Chain A
Amino acid sequence: SQKIEQNSEALNIQEGKTATLTCNYTNYSPAYLQWYRQDPGRGPVFLLLIRENEKEKRKERLKVTFDTTLKQSLFHITASQPADSATYLCALSNNDMRFGAGTRLTVKP
């Protein structure tokens, strides 16, 4: 069966450091992969999309990599700020759209 695994439930880092979140998947051949941010009590908000033929994508302090051989995506937030504290979800799509369980990031001042 299809599985999407995000490396840990929670990640705590110090302000200014780079946060790295991992998304691994099995039994899936996604056309693209996305990352979303979700704040408590709110719906997920889209951040970045990367296609199967792309290796890396950047947006401001965010960087996403996509390795279809390893079946893995890495999501980096550089120069992290307390305002980056949230749950980050990866989502895979091949017509449908399925999400991982999320990683709760806390950036401490």
Chain B
Amino acid sequence: GAGVSQSPRYKVTKRGQDVALRCDPISGHVSLYWYRQALGQGPEFLTYFNYEAQQDKSGLPNDRFSAERPEGSISTLTIQRTEQRDSAMYRCASSLAGPQGRSTGELFFGEGSRLTVL
């Protein structure tokens, strides 16, 4: 597709269940970022990848959160044993690589996956 695609768009789950959120970046984009955004707040950084390598996971709230991008394209954010406080919009963004393979900076965001934990 032409843009960043995220699925599912909406996910309602019960507390304690695991969820997997998928991000399909723009073709050719080598950097991929995950954010969590609460209503009225800016995107909160979770983690990012260059190609398949996870560069920084310092924003992941705890060890229930993990992300992977095994082939340097599609990425999955997994939340294990979900809790009500995990309810939020989860956004993925991708960007092109500039010199030295690092992001050129401009992020293209998907429409997000809204997670509701009951």
Q: Which A residues lie at the B interface, using CB under 8 A?
A: 6, 32, 34, 36, 42-46, 49, 89, 91, 93, 95-102
Q: Which one of B10-18, B68-76, B77-85, B108-116 contacts A?
A: B108-116
Contact residues in A for B45 (Cβ distance below 8 Å): 96-99
Note all chain A residues with C-beta closer than 8 A to B33. Answer: 96-97
- In Å, the complex CA distance between A91 and B106 comes to 10
Query: Measured between C-beta atoms, what is the minimum distance from A49 to chain B in Å?
Result: 5
> Closest CB-CB distance, B76 to chain A, in whole Å?
19
Instruction: Check B105–A100 contact: CB distance below 8 A.
Output: no
Contact B105 A32 (CB under 8 A): yes
Bound complex: CA A95 to CA B103 (Å): 7
Known: A93-B103, A95-B56, A97-B33. A102 touches B41 (CB 8 A): yes
Indicate which residue in A34, A45, A95, A101 contacts B42 across the interface (CB closer than 8 Å): A101
> Quick check: B111 and A49 within 8 Å, CB to CB?
no
* Total A-B Cβ pairs within 8 A: 57
A101 to chain B, nearest CB (A): 5
Tell me which residues across on chain B come within 8 A of A96, comparing CB atoms. Answer: 33, 45, 48, 55-56, 58-59
Rounded to whole Å, the gap between the CB of B60 and the closest CB of chain A is: 12
Contact partners of A36 in chain B: CB under 8 A:
107
Q: Shortest beta-carbon distance, B33 to chain A, in Å?
A: 6
Q: Specify which chain A residues have a CB less than 8 angstroms from the CB of B91 in the assembled complex.
A: 43
Question: Could you tell me the distance between the alpha carbons of A102 and B37 in the complex, rounded to whole angstroms?
Answer: 12
Chain B residue with Cβ nearest A103 = B42
Give the Cβ gap from A79 to chain B, nearest Cβ, in Å: 25
Say yes or no: A89 contacts B48, CB within 8 Å. Answer: no
State whether A97 touches B42 (Cβ < 8 A): no
Q: Is the CB of B56 within 8 A of A46?
A: no
| Known A93-B103, A96-B56, A97-B33; contact A46-B48, beta-carbon cutoff 8 A | no
Q: Of all chain B residues, which has the CB nearest A4?
A: B42
| Nearest B-chain residue to A104, judged by Cβ | B40
Flag if A49 contacts B112 (CB, 8 Å).
no
Q: Are B42 and A46 in contact (CB under 8 A)?
A: no
